[in-house]
Amino acid sequence: MRIAVAGTGYVGLVTGVCLAEHGHNVTCVDIDDKKVAIMKNGVSPIYEPGLDELMLKNMDRLEFTTDYLSAYKAADVIFIGVGTPEKHDGSANLNYVYGVAEQIAKSIENDCVVVVKSTVPIGTNDKIEEMIKNNLTHNVNVYVASNPEFLSQGTAVRDTLQTSRIVIGVEEEYAGEILKEVYKDFKAPIVVTNRKSAEMIKYASNDFLALKISFINEIANLCEIIGADIEEVALGMGYDGRIGNRFLNAGIGYGGSCFPKDTKALHWLANFHDYELKTVKAAIDVNENQKLKLIKKSRRYYDSLKGLNIAVLGLTFKPGTDDLREAPTLVNIPLMLEDGGNVKAWDPVGSDNFKKLYPNEVSYYGSIEETIKDADICFIFTEWDEVKDFDLAKYSQLMKNPIVLDGRNCYEINQAKKANIIYDSIGRETVYNLETILV
């Protein structure tokens, strides 16, 4: 099947490459000449494990171009996978989606199905259909379908090829049958709904997971107060099949391109219709407060960070990606700098992106050892394997004052008790194990 994909970010590029893996001929469209040139050489412009290898494997079925006219005019199916960034008021910016819709209307010369893969507010597919049909250059039939993605950065290829479900939102049976043909080799249940239900499935899924994270973080905060251990609590909860054990890892909040944006967008949409989603609003509020958890903990040990060497381990919002969107470091590091701290940072893949924001204010290092050397305090913001596997004894050996604030609970409490450090994590007892405890 001839497929075109608009956009080569996480959603668009991963979708295109995975469809090519299943035998389709795919043309990926982007407005950036430099990105297209890179992709033509089989190199992914985004950091996503496994994507480069899959691109190279399927280059005979993949094309990359900035010429949307030639890409769209003869396509059987066109996927829209461009970004829908957050506006200042929390609503979704649909300018890129609508821009592609106009291009499609002016380009297509055959009957086709336009598939909205981007995460869009409920009712957007209807507007896209109206826009395309009102701007058609040729007398063709166009069918618009919603087909939300459920991928996570760092595991996007696996999440697409081994997806838990395929949701198809259509108003005509024909469009549904075409998409079933597109996905016929994917071994996953197919859920066919109307378009608005499909749009809502995406938002409801992401917002529920965000709510689950915020809930466990609130329980973790209470555990610290009353002396319970959040990991034991989560373990006991997770065996309940109605709850499950995923997204029960306490920490300093969620980030990335989906949860923050999608919770705010759905909350904004509800308010627009004079309805308040109280649970979603609570998840947003809890998450914003949770991001500052480690800074607040640092006041137990220092009245001010002024003049201190501050080690920061992990800059990205989660491991397996170089994405900084809504990462806790974007809130915390500016506060450290404003307080007069000397910030020393390490991240295996995210440092270059962070340098674009703070090229001179932060010192970047290539190893954990270099980063923590002579540090007065250490903040762990991302649970990279390199951090989890790091020898705890090295904190006391290399740091000036081995105070480790762990926002991702990378180490077991029993491990920390064997090391000569102060170890302060989320929802668990604090280990005061220095020979001389700072006051």
Specify whether the CB–CB gap between 258 and 265 falls below 8 A: no
Using CA atoms, how far apart are residues 96 and 82, in angstroms rounded to an integer? 6
Using CA atoms, how far apart are residues 224 and 423, in angstroms rounded to an integer? 13
Closest CA to 25 of 64, 52, 66, 51: 64
**pLDDT attached to residue 435:** 59
Q: What b/e string do you get for 307-341 counting C-beta neighbours within 10 Å, with b at 16 or more?
A: ebbbbbbbbbbbbbbbbbbbbbbbbbbeebbebeb
Closest CA to 29 of 65, 3, 60: 65
**pLDDT attached to residue 439:** 44
As its CATH architecture, domain 202-290 has Orthogonal Bundle (1.10)
What single-letter DSSP state applies at residue 405? Answer: E
Q: For 135-182, what is each residue's pLDDT tens digit?
A: 999 999 999 999 999 999 899 999 999 999 999 999 999 999 999 999
Specify whether the CB–CB gap between 185 and 22 falls below 8 A: yes
pTM over 0.85: yes
Specify whether the CB–CB gap between 72 and 4 falls below 8 A: yes
CATH code of the domain made up of 293-432: 3.40.50.720
Count, in order, helices (H) and strands (E) of the chain: 19, 15
Segments making up each domain of the chain, as ranges: 2-193, 202-290, 293-432
Divide the 439 residues of the chain into consecutive groups of 10 and give the mean pLDDT of each group.
95 97 97 96 93 96 97 96 92 95 96 97 97 96 97 93 97 97 96 98 97 98 98 98 96 94 95 96 97 97 97 97 95 98 98 97 98 98 98 97 98 96 98 65
CATH code of the domain made up of 2-193: 3.40.50.720
Using CA atoms, how far apart are residues 254 and 5, in angstroms rounded to an integer? 29
Per-residue tokens: 225: 């107060």
Task: Point out the residues that are catalytic.
Answer: 258
The secondary structure element, H or E, covering residue 377 is strand 377-380
Same fold, 2-193 and 202-290: no
Q: For 203-233, what is each residue's pLDDT tens digit?
A: 999 999 999 999 999 999 999 999 999 999 9
Q: What b/e string do you get for 29-38 counting C-beta neighbours within 10 Å, with b at 16 or more?
A: bbeeeebbee
Place of tokens 């002396």: 227
Specify whether the CB–CB gap between 13 and 28 falls below 8 A: yes
The secondary structure element, H or E, covering residue 29 is strand 25-29
What single-letter DSSP state applies at residue 191? Answer: E
Closest CA to 64 of 12, 134, 123: 12
